[in-house]
A and B are shown apart, each in its own frame.
Chain A
Amino acid sequence: MIEPGLIHFLIVGAILFALGLMAILSKRNTIMVLMGVELILNASNINLVAFSRFTELSLDGQMIGLFIIIIAAAEAAVALAIVLNVYSRFNTISLDKINLMKG
Protein backbone atom coordinates (compact mmCIF):
# COMPACT_ATOMS: atom_id res chain seq x y z
CA MET A 1 0.00 0.00 0.00
CA ILE A 2 1.31 3.41 -0.95
CA GLU A 3 1.32 6.21 1.55
CA PRO A 4 -1.73 8.41 0.86
CA GLY A 5 -0.91 11.61 -0.99
CA LEU A 6 -2.99 14.35 -2.51
CA ILE A 7 -4.21 12.17 -5.37
CA HIS A 8 -5.69 9.55 -3.04
CA PHE A 9 -7.86 12.08 -1.28
CA LEU A 10 -8.89 13.61 -4.59
CA ILE A 11 -9.96 10.20 -5.90
CA VAL A 12 -11.99 9.52 -2.76
CA GLY A 13 -13.68 12.88 -3.32
CA ALA A 14 -14.33 12.06 -6.98
CA ILE A 15 -15.97 8.73 -6.13
CA LEU A 16 -18.14 10.41 -3.50
CA PHE A 17 -19.13 13.01 -6.09
CA ALA A 18 -20.08 10.34 -8.63
CA LEU A 19 -22.19 8.48 -6.06
CA GLY A 20 -23.97 11.71 -5.11
CA LEU A 21 -24.63 12.47 -8.77
CA MET A 22 -26.03 8.95 -9.15
CA ALA A 23 -28.39 9.51 -6.20
CA ILE A 24 -29.57 12.85 -7.57
CA LEU A 25 -30.19 11.53 -11.07
CA SER A 26 -31.79 8.19 -10.31
CA LYS A 27 -33.82 8.61 -7.12
CA ARG A 28 -37.38 9.88 -7.16
CA ASN A 29 -37.74 10.58 -3.44
CA THR A 30 -36.98 14.23 -2.69
CA ILE A 31 -35.22 13.37 0.55
CA MET A 32 -32.93 10.93 -1.27
CA VAL A 33 -32.04 13.74 -3.69
CA LEU A 34 -31.19 15.92 -0.68
CA MET A 35 -28.91 13.19 0.66
CA GLY A 36 -27.17 13.12 -2.72
CA VAL A 37 -26.59 16.86 -2.46
CA GLU A 38 -25.03 16.34 0.96
CA LEU A 39 -22.68 13.72 -0.54
CA ILE A 40 -21.56 16.15 -3.24
CA LEU A 41 -20.94 18.90 -0.68
CA ASN A 42 -18.81 16.48 1.35
CA ALA A 43 -16.85 15.50 -1.74
CA SER A 44 -16.01 19.12 -2.52
CA ASN A 45 -15.08 19.66 1.11
CA ILE A 46 -12.63 16.74 1.05
CA ASN A 47 -10.99 18.26 -2.03
CA LEU A 48 -10.66 21.70 -0.41
CA VAL A 49 -9.18 20.33 2.81
CA ALA A 50 -6.78 18.08 0.90
CA PHE A 51 -5.54 21.00 -1.19
CA SER A 52 -5.09 23.06 1.96
CA ARG A 53 -3.11 20.22 3.58
CA PHE A 54 -0.76 19.59 0.69
CA THR A 55 0.07 23.21 -0.14
CA GLU A 56 2.24 24.72 2.57
CA LEU A 57 -0.31 23.93 5.28
CA SER A 58 -2.35 27.08 4.83
CA LEU A 59 -5.72 27.25 6.55
CA ASP A 60 -7.68 29.00 3.79
CA GLY A 61 -9.07 25.75 2.37
CA GLN A 62 -10.23 24.64 5.79
CA MET A 63 -11.90 28.02 6.28
CA ILE A 64 -13.86 27.64 3.05
CA GLY A 65 -14.74 24.10 4.13
CA LEU A 66 -16.12 25.45 7.39
CA PHE A 67 -18.30 27.91 5.47
CA ILE A 68 -19.52 25.08 3.22
CA ILE A 69 -20.59 23.08 6.28
CA ILE A 70 -22.54 26.08 7.61
CA ILE A 71 -24.22 26.68 4.25
CA ALA A 72 -25.12 22.97 4.06
CA ALA A 73 -26.85 23.25 7.43
CA ALA A 74 -28.90 26.25 6.27
CA GLU A 75 -29.70 24.48 2.99
CA ALA A 76 -30.90 21.32 4.74
CA ALA A 77 -33.21 23.26 7.07
CA VAL A 78 -34.82 25.30 4.28
CA ALA A 79 -35.04 22.33 1.91
CA LEU A 80 -36.78 20.14 4.47
CA ALA A 81 -39.26 22.92 5.25
CA ILE A 82 -40.00 23.13 1.51
CA VAL A 83 -40.37 19.34 1.32
CA LEU A 84 -42.87 19.38 4.19
CA ASN A 85 -44.85 22.13 2.43
CA VAL A 86 -44.85 20.14 -0.81
CA TYR A 87 -45.99 17.05 1.06
CA SER A 88 -48.94 18.86 2.63
CA ARG A 89 -49.99 20.24 -0.75
CA PHE A 90 -49.49 17.25 -3.05
CA ASN A 91 -49.62 14.44 -0.46
CA THR A 92 -46.51 12.92 -2.04
CA ILE A 93 -42.84 13.78 -2.36
CA SER A 94 -42.20 11.79 -5.51
CA LEU A 95 -40.54 14.15 -7.97
CA ASP A 96 -42.43 12.67 -10.92
CA LYS A 97 -45.82 13.51 -9.42
CA ILE A 98 -45.05 17.10 -8.47
CA ASN A 99 -45.82 18.65 -11.84
CA LEU A 100 -47.77 21.83 -11.13
CA MET A 101 -46.15 25.23 -11.42
CA LYS A 102 -49.15 26.85 -9.74
CA GLY A 103 -50.92 25.32 -6.75
Chain B
Amino acid sequence: MEVTTLLFYAFAIITLSAAAVMVFSKNIVHSAFALMFTLIGVAALYVLLYADFLAAAQLLVYVGGILILILFGVMLTTQGLTFSFKTTAVNVPAATVVSTAALMLLIYAFVQTDWTIAETGVRDDTVREMGMMLMGAYVLPFIVIGVLLLIAIIGAILMSTRLSAKNDGEI
Protein backbone atom coordinates (compact mmCIF):
# COMPACT_ATOMS: atom_id res chain seq x y z
CA MET B 1 0.00 0.00 0.00
CA GLU B 2 1.28 3.40 -0.91
CA VAL B 3 1.65 6.36 1.35
CA THR B 4 -0.67 8.52 -0.74
CA THR B 5 -3.50 6.03 -0.35
CA LEU B 6 -3.12 6.11 3.41
CA LEU B 7 -2.89 9.91 3.39
CA PHE B 8 -6.02 10.19 1.27
CA TYR B 9 -8.08 8.08 3.65
CA ALA B 10 -6.69 9.86 6.71
CA PHE B 11 -7.43 13.33 5.36
CA ALA B 12 -10.83 12.32 4.00
CA ILE B 13 -11.81 11.01 7.44
CA ILE B 14 -10.50 14.19 9.12
CA THR B 15 -12.39 16.41 6.66
CA LEU B 16 -15.68 14.58 6.84
CA SER B 17 -15.72 14.04 10.60
CA ALA B 18 -14.83 17.67 11.24
CA ALA B 19 -17.62 18.72 8.87
CA ALA B 20 -20.04 16.47 10.74
CA VAL B 21 -18.96 18.00 14.06
CA MET B 22 -19.47 21.44 12.53
CA VAL B 23 -22.98 20.67 11.41
CA PHE B 24 -24.20 18.81 14.48
CA SER B 25 -22.49 20.80 17.23
CA LYS B 26 -24.72 22.95 19.39
CA ASN B 27 -21.99 25.46 20.16
CA ILE B 28 -21.20 27.87 17.34
CA VAL B 29 -17.58 28.40 18.41
CA HIS B 30 -17.01 24.66 18.30
CA SER B 31 -18.56 24.73 14.83
CA ALA B 32 -16.11 27.41 13.71
CA PHE B 33 -13.13 25.41 14.98
CA ALA B 34 -14.42 22.25 13.32
CA LEU B 35 -14.76 24.26 10.10
CA MET B 36 -11.06 25.09 10.42
CA PHE B 37 -10.15 21.38 10.45
CA THR B 38 -12.45 20.77 7.49
CA LEU B 39 -10.75 23.49 5.47
CA ILE B 40 -7.27 22.21 6.35
CA GLY B 41 -8.33 18.71 5.31
CA VAL B 42 -9.65 20.02 1.99
CA ALA B 43 -6.32 21.77 1.42
CA ALA B 44 -4.54 18.45 2.02
CA LEU B 45 -6.85 16.79 -0.51
CA TYR B 46 -5.86 19.50 -3.02
CA VAL B 47 -2.21 18.60 -2.46
CA LEU B 48 -3.02 14.95 -3.17
CA LEU B 49 -4.63 16.13 -6.43
CA TYR B 50 -1.43 17.95 -7.51
CA ALA B 51 -2.95 21.38 -6.85
CA ASP B 52 -0.25 22.85 -4.65
CA PHE B 53 -0.94 26.51 -5.41
CA LEU B 54 -4.65 26.02 -4.79
CA ALA B 55 -3.88 24.35 -1.44
CA ALA B 56 -1.76 27.33 -0.39
CA ALA B 57 -4.49 29.73 -1.51
CA GLN B 58 -7.05 27.68 0.40
CA LEU B 59 -5.00 27.87 3.60
CA LEU B 60 -4.33 31.60 3.23
CA VAL B 61 -7.81 32.71 2.16
CA TYR B 62 -10.09 30.32 4.01
CA VAL B 63 -8.22 29.46 7.20
CA GLY B 64 -6.47 32.79 7.50
CA GLY B 65 -9.24 35.06 6.29
CA ILE B 66 -12.77 33.78 6.11
CA LEU B 67 -12.58 31.79 9.34
CA ILE B 68 -11.28 34.79 11.30
CA LEU B 69 -14.06 36.87 9.74
CA ILE B 70 -16.65 34.28 10.83
CA LEU B 71 -15.28 34.24 14.38
CA PHE B 72 -15.48 38.04 14.51
CA GLY B 73 -19.05 37.79 13.28
CA VAL B 74 -19.86 35.33 16.06
CA MET B 75 -18.34 37.59 18.68
CA LEU B 76 -20.02 40.76 17.41
CA THR B 77 -23.50 39.27 17.16
CA THR B 78 -23.77 37.49 20.49
CA GLN B 79 -25.84 39.26 23.11
CA GLY B 80 -24.32 40.13 26.43
CA LEU B 81 -21.75 38.15 28.33
CA THR B 82 -22.43 34.60 27.28
CA PHE B 83 -20.39 31.59 28.11
CA SER B 84 -22.36 29.31 25.84
CA PHE B 85 -22.85 30.25 22.21
CA LYS B 86 -25.88 28.08 21.54
CA THR B 87 -27.49 27.66 18.18
CA THR B 88 -30.89 26.17 17.64
CA ALA B 89 -31.66 23.62 14.98
CA VAL B 90 -35.11 23.32 13.49
CA ASN B 91 -36.67 21.04 10.89
CA VAL B 92 -34.04 18.40 11.63
CA PRO B 93 -35.98 15.39 10.25
CA ALA B 94 -36.94 17.18 7.04
CA ALA B 95 -33.43 18.54 6.52
CA THR B 96 -31.95 15.09 7.15
CA VAL B 97 -34.28 13.54 4.58
CA VAL B 98 -33.52 16.17 1.95
CA SER B 99 -29.76 16.10 2.39
CA THR B 100 -29.63 12.30 2.53
CA ALA B 101 -31.67 12.16 -0.66
CA ALA B 102 -29.28 14.61 -2.32
CA LEU B 103 -26.30 12.55 -1.14
CA MET B 104 -27.78 9.29 -2.42
CA LEU B 105 -28.65 10.86 -5.76
CA LEU B 106 -25.14 12.27 -6.17
CA ILE B 107 -23.40 9.04 -5.20
CA TYR B 108 -25.70 7.03 -7.48
CA ALA B 109 -24.92 9.36 -10.38
CA PHE B 110 -21.18 9.22 -9.68
CA VAL B 111 -21.08 5.44 -9.42
CA GLN B 112 -23.30 4.82 -12.44
CA THR B 113 -21.47 7.16 -14.78
CA ASP B 114 -18.79 5.55 -16.88
CA TRP B 115 -15.91 7.98 -16.41
CA THR B 116 -13.15 7.94 -18.97
CA ILE B 117 -10.04 8.56 -16.93
CA ALA B 118 -6.84 9.57 -18.63
CA GLU B 119 -3.84 7.68 -17.32
CA THR B 120 -1.39 10.44 -16.64
CA GLY B 121 1.91 10.80 -14.95
CA VAL B 122 2.76 13.02 -12.04
CA ARG B 123 2.99 16.77 -12.11
CA ASP B 124 5.62 18.68 -10.22
CA ASP B 125 4.56 22.30 -9.71
CA THR B 126 1.63 24.25 -11.05
CA VAL B 127 2.52 27.80 -10.06
CA ARG B 128 4.41 28.81 -13.19
CA GLU B 129 1.84 27.34 -15.56
CA MET B 130 -1.06 28.89 -13.66
CA GLY B 131 0.64 32.26 -13.78
CA MET B 132 1.07 31.93 -17.54
CA MET B 133 -2.60 31.01 -17.89
CA LEU B 134 -3.71 33.94 -15.72
CA MET B 135 -1.80 36.32 -17.95
CA GLY B 136 -2.90 34.54 -21.13
CA ALA B 137 -6.21 32.81 -21.66
CA TYR B 138 -7.71 33.87 -18.32
CA VAL B 139 -6.73 37.53 -18.31
CA LEU B 140 -10.30 38.82 -18.71
CA PRO B 141 -11.78 36.83 -15.77
CA PHE B 142 -8.71 37.83 -13.75
CA ILE B 143 -9.40 41.54 -14.29
CA VAL B 144 -13.14 41.14 -13.76
CA ILE B 145 -12.60 39.32 -10.47
CA GLY B 146 -10.22 42.05 -9.34
CA VAL B 147 -12.92 44.65 -9.94
CA LEU B 148 -15.44 42.41 -8.16
CA LEU B 149 -13.19 42.14 -5.11
CA LEU B 150 -12.71 45.91 -5.05
CA ILE B 151 -16.48 46.50 -5.21
CA ALA B 152 -17.11 43.89 -2.49
CA ILE B 153 -14.53 45.45 -0.18
CA ILE B 154 -15.89 48.96 -0.72
CA GLY B 155 -19.44 47.73 -0.12
CA ALA B 156 -18.52 45.88 3.06
CA ILE B 157 -16.61 48.87 4.44
CA LEU B 158 -19.47 51.24 3.59
CA MET B 159 -22.05 49.04 5.31
CA SER B 160 -19.92 48.57 8.42
CA THR B 161 -18.94 52.22 8.81
CA ARG B 162 -22.52 53.42 8.37
CA LEU B 163 -23.40 50.98 11.13
CA SER B 164 -20.86 52.38 13.60
CA ALA B 165 -21.79 55.98 12.73
CA LYS B 166 -25.44 55.21 13.51
CA ASN B 167 -24.50 53.61 16.81
CA ASP B 168 -22.45 56.64 17.80
CA GLY B 169 -25.39 58.90 17.08
CA GLU B 170 -27.69 56.83 19.26
CA ILE B 171 -25.29 56.84 22.19
A-side interface residues toward B, CB under 8 Å?
A: 1-12, 14-23, 25-32, 34-36, 38-39, 42, 45-46, 49-50, 52-57, 59, 62-63, 65-67, 69-78, 80-85, 87-88, 91-94, 96
Contact = CB atoms under 8 A, between A and B. Distances in A.
17 contacts: A4-B5, A4-B9, A10-B110, A26-B23, A26-B91, A32-B87, A38-B62, A38-B66, A45-B42, A59-B130, A70-B61, A72-B61, A72-B62, A83-B77, A84-B76, A84-B77, A88-B167
Contacts of B58: 69
Interface of B: 1-2, 4-6, 8-9, 12, 15-16, 19-20, 22-23, 28, 31-32, 35, 38-39, 42, 45-46, 48-51, 53-54, 57-58, 61-62, 65-66, 69-70, 72-74, 76-77, 79, 87-92, 94-96, 98-100, 102-103, 106-107, 110-111, 115, 117-118, 120-121, 123, 126, 129-130, 133-134, 138, 141, 145, 148-149, 152-153, 155-156, 159-160, 163, 166-167
Contacts of A56: 118, 120
Contacts of A11: 107, 110
Nearest to B149: A74
Interface residue SS majority, chain A: helix
A7 B111 CA distance: 7
A62 to B, nearest CB: 5
